[in-house]
Amino acid sequence: KAGVTQTPRYLIKTRGQQVTLSCSPISGHRSVSWYQQTPGQGLQFLFEYFSETQRNKGNFPGRFSGRQFSNSRSEMNVSTLELGDSALYLCASSPGDRKETQYFGPGTRLLVL
């Protein structure tokens, strides 16, 4: 089975721009979660989608948004980029039950200049 894929792998943007990241889950998985990883804050949960509905949300400003499509693929968007948004963005997929393992993609590394 193919793993979780994320595109693009690397991205450079300037302050004020917006960016869209994409995540394709493992086939059959209906839940996609997004995380931000930075050296200072570590790994922080952004949000989770299941069957096109956001089920859970972390403590990030409204500039961070996401969506999920009917094929379970998910996108995350960050508007009005700030320098502090530079990070590795990871998505993870799972079948959907709370206790099931989340499988992570390789991440998208975003640099904001």
Partner 1 sequence: GDSVTQMEGPVTLSEEAFLTINCTYTATGYPSLFWYVQYPGEGLQLLLKATKADDKGSNKGFEATYRKETTSFHLEKGSVQVSDSAVYFCALVPGGTSYGKLTFGQGTILTVHP
State the residue for tokens 């086939």. 27
* Interface pick for partner 1 out of 33, 68, 72, 74 (rule CB under 8 A): 33
- Asked if 105 touches partner 1 (CB under 8 A), the answer is yes
State the residue for tokens 């998505």. 91
- Asked if 64 touches partner 1 (CB under 8 A), the answer is no
Q: Please identify, using beta-carbon distances, which residue of 19 and 92 lies nearer to partner 1.
A: 92
- Asked if 90 touches partner 1 (CB under 8 A), the answer is yes
12 CB-near residues (< 8 Å, 6+ apart): 110, 111, 112, 113
Question: Rounded to whole angstroms, how far apart are CA atoms 103 and 113?
Answer: 30
* Interface pick for partner 1 out of 24, 31, 68, 74 (rule CB under 8 A): 31
Q: Please identify, using beta-carbon distances, which residue of 51 and 80 lies nearer to partner 1.
A: 51
- Asked if 104 touches partner 1 (CB under 8 A), the answer is yes
Question: Rounded to whole angstroms, how far apart are CA atoms 27 and 58?
Answer: 25
Question: Rounded to whole angstroms, how far apart are CA atoms 73 and 69?
Answer: 5
DSSP bridge pairs for 11: 110
Q: Interface with partner 1 by CB under 8 A: which residues?
A: 4, 31-33, 35, 42-43, 45, 48-50, 55-56, 58, 90, 92, 94, 96, 98-99, 101-107
